[in-house]
Chain A
Amino acid sequence: MTDPDLLVIGGGPAGIAAAVRAADAGASVMLVEMRPALGGAFHRRPIEGVEPWPIGREGERRWARLDEGLVRTGIVPRLRTAFLGLDGAGAALLEDRVAGRVEACHPRAIILATGALESVRPRPGWHRPGVVTAGGLQVMMKETGRIPEGRILLAGSGPLLIALAGQLTARGRPPVAVVEAADPFTEMVAGLGLLAHPRHLAEAAVHLGRLALARVPWRRATVLEAITPKGDAFEVRLRDRRGRRTTLEVDHVALHDGIRPNDHGLPAANETPGAGPIVVSAGDGREVLGVVAAEIDGERAADRALALIDGRPEATRDHLRRLARERHAQAVLARVFAPARPLDPLETLPDDTVLCRCEGRTVGDLKVLFTGADTPAGREIKLTGRFAMGLCQGRFCAHWVAEASARLGPDAPAPRPRDLTGDRWPARPVPIAALAAVPDAPKR
């Protein structure tokens, strides 16, 4: 394997835009993607013989441009290749899942474009089979064109719930309801900010129009409190703004409480030449600004990386101006989707509520750590409580454990999620046979 100038991790809009931009500037580029196809969350490609998911004419134009860029530059993405992180010697570790081996690669710069990860807040029953993330449901729909049989409930908070509900409805499978913790209609003043972002407003209008036509209830200022199995289905308990509780029977629950950068186990940014490879992050993996911003930020990151390794000029002003606009749109959305009432603190959930899905560690298990004279700090909570120690390495519990710990031990410094997850490679579990194939490096 020849070491490229630039290694780009992630084949979504940010990664592709970065790879194309760098290749156009003459750099040698390697683009890796963990899934069997490029695209990322928004441009996810369907499997053979399935119609692409409708993403609007503008979306299709953007994808065509990215695809054309790859063809023009001759970049052949390495699919089914996972980035395991940077090791202590500065090697970028790539797991080639087709060949079943790990390679140590020494690029001059790395662009991390790993997209976003959904936040899903723990609730009683959230770990049950049949409960998925809204994004997970969307992946399945976009790739296969199929929607699982039965009654679907979408719950949590954020614009994705409305978008997904609109898409389900357009396919003739409207959800039973959309349960939204915020009350966007009361945030009129904040909502006016969206007038400056007609693209977002138009998208919301289309989805909400569909929901209204199909009479899908949008239950605002309402939270999903608990999910209980009932035969092959679930009984879910909802609580509205006045504290009134109702139950619904559904077959599938899709949860979503916002998104955040998918930066777990990834190396920190490094803009110091000579101190290992340059590391620049891009797109939602750096800051969640959405699909349009991802492409802009990918180009910005490529410019930045090339400036750092070769001293090439950067054209940052236009990029930064366009990013600022997307940042404003996201800030408006965040205000519109702020919870109508404070959410229940995690430590007030029933003791048997699962926090760590991998190891089944519960709220009660966490509270036990805070009963003695001594208040444990972040890493001790991890080690002695066995939180964030399972196979997902804390991706789905570290934030919540940190949040609850800060309240349980108010006299101690609040733990950070990173104190719980640590920052060692491998960023994901890797087969020993594949890793054992890394040869002793010739002395560099």
Chain B
Amino acid sequence: MTASTFLFRGAAVPFRPGETIAAALTAAGLRTFGLDPAGRETRYFCGIGACQACLVRVDGVLVEACLTPARADGRVEPAEDRHDRS
């Protein structure tokens, strides 16, 4: 295992280089990645960026966890709408 991690809801999630956020969260035992802005549970489904079900928030913007590589020391938040609007 490599030492690379990103923060999800404040907790460090390990990942291997090149791994997507969805793969890392799934490997960490998460079945849902939090709520989406409509209040539904986000979850891995199609794996190819088509279903929009696995959304997470990176740098304030929603991205498909299944398409987006994890970044060392990055911050990943659930998709629910709490981003900073200042």
Contacts and interface: CB of A to CB of B under 8 A. Distances in A.
Given A139-B66, A148-B26, A47 B17 contact: yes
A135 B19 contact: no
Interface string A120-136: 00000000111111011
Nearest to B23: A144
A19 interface: no
Interface residues of A, number: 46
A358 interface: yes
B50 A396 contact: yes
Given A48-B17, A358-B53, 15 more contacts: A35-B48, A47-B17, A117-B48, A129-B31, A135-B46, A140-B47, A143-B23, A144-B23, A144-B27, A262-B50, A358-B38, A392-B51, A395-B51, A396-B50, A431-B61
Interface residues of B, number: 34
Contact of B53 (A140, A357, A428): A357
27 contacts: A34-B49, A35-B48, A35-B49, A35-B67, A48-B17, A129-B41, A129-B43, A132-B47, A133-B46, A133-B47, A135-B48, A138-B47, A140-B44, A143-B23, A149-B29, A358-B53, A360-B40, A390-B52, A391-B52, A391-B55, A392-B51, A392-B53, A395-B51, A396-B46, A428-B49, A429-B52, A433-B61
Nearest to A47: B18
A240 interface: no
Interface in A411-432: 428-429, 431
Interface of B: 16-20, 22-23, 26-27, 29, 31-32, 38, 40-53, 55, 61-62, 66-69
A149 B22 CA distance: 15
Nearest to B52: A391
Interface of A: 34-37, 41, 47-50, 80, 82, 97, 117-118, 128-133, 135-140, 143-144, 146, 148-149, 262, 264, 357-360, 390-392, 395-396, 428-429, 431, 433
B46 A136 contact: yes
Contacts of A143: 18-20, 23
A392 B45 CA distance: 12
Contact of A34 (B17, B19, B41, B67): B67
B35 to A, nearest CB: 11
B27 A136 contact: no
Contacts of B23: 140, 143-144, 146
Contacts of A47: 16-19
- Nearest first, the 9 closest Cβ-Cβ pairs linking A and B are A136-B47, A47-B18, A139-B47, A129-B43, A391-B52, A129-B32, A392-B52, A129-B31, A144-B23
Contacts of A97: 67-68
A36 B66 contact: no
Contacts of A144: 16, 19, 23, 27
B36 to A, nearest CB: 8
Nearest to B33: A129
Nearest to A36: B69
A35 B20 CA distance: 10
Contacts of A390: 52
Contact of B45 (A34, A132, A138, A149): A132
Contact of B47 (A135, A358, A429, A433): A135
A146 B50 contact: no
B51 to A, nearest CB: 5
